[in-house]
Amino acid sequence: MGALVRRLETERDRWFLWLPVLYGCGAGLYFRQLAEPPLALALMPVPIALVCWLLLKRGTFAVSAASVFLAMTLGFAAAKLRTAWVTAPVLERSLNLVSVSGWVELVEPRAGRGQRITLRVAEMRGIAPERRPYRIRVRTLVTHGALKPGDPIRLRATLAPPAIPALPGAFDFARQAFFQRIGGVGYTLSKPELDETIGPSPIALRFEAQVTRLRQAISARVREALPGERGALADAMITGERGGISEATNDAYRDSGLFHILSISGLHMTVMAGTVFLALRFALAAIPAIALRFAVKKWSAVAATLAALGYLMISGGAFATVRAWVMISIMFLAILLDRPALALRNVAVSALIILLVLPESLLDVGFQMSFAAVVSLVAAYEAYGRWRSENRQGPTERGPITGAVLLLGAIVATTLIASAAVAPFAAYHFHKSQQYAVLANLIAIPVCNVIVMPGVLATLVAMPLGLESLPLWVMAIGLDVMNWVAVKVAALPGAVGRIPAIPQSAFLLMAMGGLWLCIWQTRWRLLGIAAIAAGVAISPTLARPDILVGRDGQVLAVRGKDGHLAALGPRNTWFELGRWLEHDGDMRLPRDITADQKGFRCDAGGCIARAGNVQVSLVRGSSALADDCRQAGLLILTLPRPVACRTAAPTIDLYALRDEGTHAIYIEGERLRVVTVAQMRGERPWTATRNRQATAARSATNQTASRTGSRIGMFASPYDLLGDDLRRRPEIEDDDEDDQQAR
């Protein structure tokens, strides 16, 4: 114990860097709970930990342990308070063509046709005020150019609660929507109409609307000067609006490892603010009367901070952009305080501020990946600086060729370090790897830094004078080069690889090992390499489901003898099936594996397949129900389980699927282990609506059966028993997957 205390003491200056990590661990522990902790229980450990920390003797291992406990309890309590703060009503069931009025918060164009509207709800017909969602997100099929943020509108929309995970343990869009206070998602077939009767919009929304209208005006000017795909890309770089980019272009950037360029984040904010800082500092330094009397470096830092704030507002204030602005601002603040700008302490302060305000950002893949990249790059920069200092290597004279080689080497090293840092996160969240990302970034990043981003700055400066055409033309040259790189690299053989899902323990080992390696400075930091290696070693050990059942029994997948999934399901289940294939590390598309129904024998009454030694029977009608009830090793019913169906085999009926979500079944010898989405989500505020919806469905079914005087018997149809609202399941197009990858 004494050796550990001495080791910690030698790295006292690095202790602070662990504060956001420990705080985040506490927040993560809160989100990992399967039941919502009471408020008093969540807050109680904080004063206990604080008292222990104050009473214990300084410089002992006990006080270090108390510090760790205090940081974690603060994170846990903050996450609980944040959840209580944002709690808002969520739709309990699907609503068909409901009349909604409210104020437009955001209008996002979609590639091809239509828009996505985020609406602050004022009224919703048939829904009491206390059960009315705070905001909804609606997809339109037609673009309405006159629609502006802040407009009071009325529309008729088909809405549903936010989507639950596609399989146990997958990304939970409902949780993300909960913290955004989005209580319903859906689509509208009608044109939104202005509705002045709901009154003026809230003051905060009015300010946001003015900024958003400015963004829309900038977008219109950009698209007028650069029509087509180039205009959409330029708009994405300037205002952050990516909705106009075609899916083919998105795929090319994604598969080549350049998708991060299309999302305004750290790279763009750094180049933008850095260009302002360097240009202004150079200009002021050229004036001796100013340079000799004033701290022009600090003046430049203030101007760059304000420029970054303006870019943040113009770019829409997306979460990734806010995060980048916080980090940039802290680094410029360090310059004002005569401290090193590129330091892990500044990165730690940035992470801590974000987690203090938004603890749920810990679960955001963009937060994780951006900080992983920044921490690794700054740690490498610090290590290189220490190496130069120890070897007493000062600046040397370099020729243009040497300088170019060193610049190229720096770009390659930066790309390799950042790619290695974010690789575990990409594998865990997206199950993908871009094999030629280094090659693509090696060409595209210099073009982005030297041509595109300075073009963005010049465009914003020239636009008030009506002179934006020239900088946009120069910017378009850079965009053409980046497009060419993205398309060519994405088309290379094996450009994209699929990675099967890895255990959470492996992911945590790699993440914590990376932090251990980057934060500590003495030799024991090398233990982080051992943790990373252990995480890599156990990555392939995650058991894959042998059978997957989802979407009311419409979609079913079984694992064949070759180890791959065979599946069947209609087109409206392909999104769900696509997530299953990604989780499995399978490169095939849903339409490819459902076309021939390989592995299934189907007739009008249902389908039969084999998974290992288990016969799986999917029952859709009554013709073979009696035989299936006797012979099936696993019985799946698209109707409530009939009383007359007596079987010892595990049975999944319509009720179970609606109540529990997707079922993942693992064959373990003679035993079947079933894991459901509901089991993995637990009883949390963002799952409560799903539980109430399931109860409502069961109640509606029972009431209908009682009203018709019938019993749920052998030949009952679930669609005859369910009410109209539950029978109509709107197929909501979910555009948020791209947003997650971009961040």
Is-contact 119 153, C-beta < 8 A? yes
Question: What ranges make up the beta strands (E) of 386-468?
Answer: 432-434
- Close Cβ partners of 130 (under 8 Å, ≥ 6 residues apart): 89
Residue 582 CA to residue 590 CA, distance in Å, equals: 10
What torsion do the CA atoms of 441, 442, 445, 448 make, to the nearest 10 degrees?
-110
Lowest mean pLDDT of 28-42, 286-300, 470-484, 620-634, name the range. Answer: 620-634
Q: How confident is the model at residue 726 (pLDDT cuts 50, 70, 90)?
A: very low
Instruction: Answer for the pair 545, 668: CB distance below 8 angstroms, yes or no.
Output: no
Query: Using CA of residue 582, residue 588, residue 594, residue 598, what is the dihedral sign?
Result: negative
Say which residues have a Cβ less than 8 Å from residue 40's Cβ, sequence separation at least 6: none
Q: What is the pLDDT of residues 123-179, one digit of tens each?
A: 999 888 889 999 999 998 877 777 888 889 999 999 999 999 999 989 999 999 999
Tokens representing 649 are 């085999």
User: pTM for the full model?
Assistant: 0.85
Compute φ and ψ for 95, nearest 5 degrees.
Answer: -125, 135
H runs (alpha helix) in 491-642: 504-519, 527-538, 574-584, 590-595, 625-631
pLDDT at residue 709, rounded to an integer:
34
Q: What average pLDDT does this structure show over 13-29?
A: 94
Single-letter code of the amino acid located at 543? A
Closest by CA to 505, choosing from 454, 475, 542, is: 542
Residue 514's CB is within 10 A of a number of other CB atoms, namely: 23
Evaluate if residue 328 carries a pLDDT over 70.
yes
Asked if residue 88 lies in contact with residue 177, where contact means CB atoms within 8 angstroms, the answer is no
> What tens digit of pLDDT does each residue of 684-713 get?
999 876 555 555 555 544 443 333 333 333
DSSP label of 553: G
Q: How many helices (H) and strands (E) does the chain have?
A: 30, 18
Q: Is the pLDDT of residue 66 over 60?
A: yes
The Cα–Cα gap between 101 and 150 comes to 12
353 exposure class (CB count in 10 Å sphere: 0-12, 13-18, 19+): middle
Which of 388-397, 478-487, 555-564, 713-722 has the least mean pLDDT?
713-722
Q: Which pLDDT belongs to residue 211?
A: 83
Of 321-325, 505-509, 515-519, minimum mean pLDDT range: 321-325
Among 134-143, 258-267, 487-496, 627-636, the minimum mean pLDDT is found in 258-267
Structure-token pair, residue 484: 């060419």
Q: How confident is the model at residue 721 (pLDDT cuts 50, 70, 90)?
A: very low
Q: What's the rounded Cα separation, in Å, for the pair 727 and 654?
A: 12
Cα–Cα dist 386/339, whole Å: 17
Q: Tokens 């990858």 correspond to what residue?
A: 741
User: Residue 604: what pLDDT?
Assistant: 80
Residue 307 corresponds to which tokens in the numbers above? 């420029």
Flag whether pLDDT at 738 surpasses 50. Answer: no
pLDDT tens-place string over residues 587-596: 888 988 887 7
The number of C-alpha atoms within 13 Å of 566 and in the hemisphere containing its C-beta is 18
- Please state whether 431 falls in left (phi above 0), alpha (psi between -120 and 50) or beta: left
Kindly indicate the confidence band of residue 54, based on its pLDDT and cuts at 50, 70 and 90. Answer: confident
Alpha-carbon distance values, 124 to 94, 95, 103 (Å): 13, 11, 12
pLDDT surpasses 90 at 327: no
Q: Inform me whether the pLDDT recorded for 20 exceeds 90.
A: yes
φ/ψ (deg, to 5) at 709: 75, 15
Tell me the C-alpha to C-alpha distance, in Å, between residue 624 and each of 419, 600, 655.
54, 16, 20
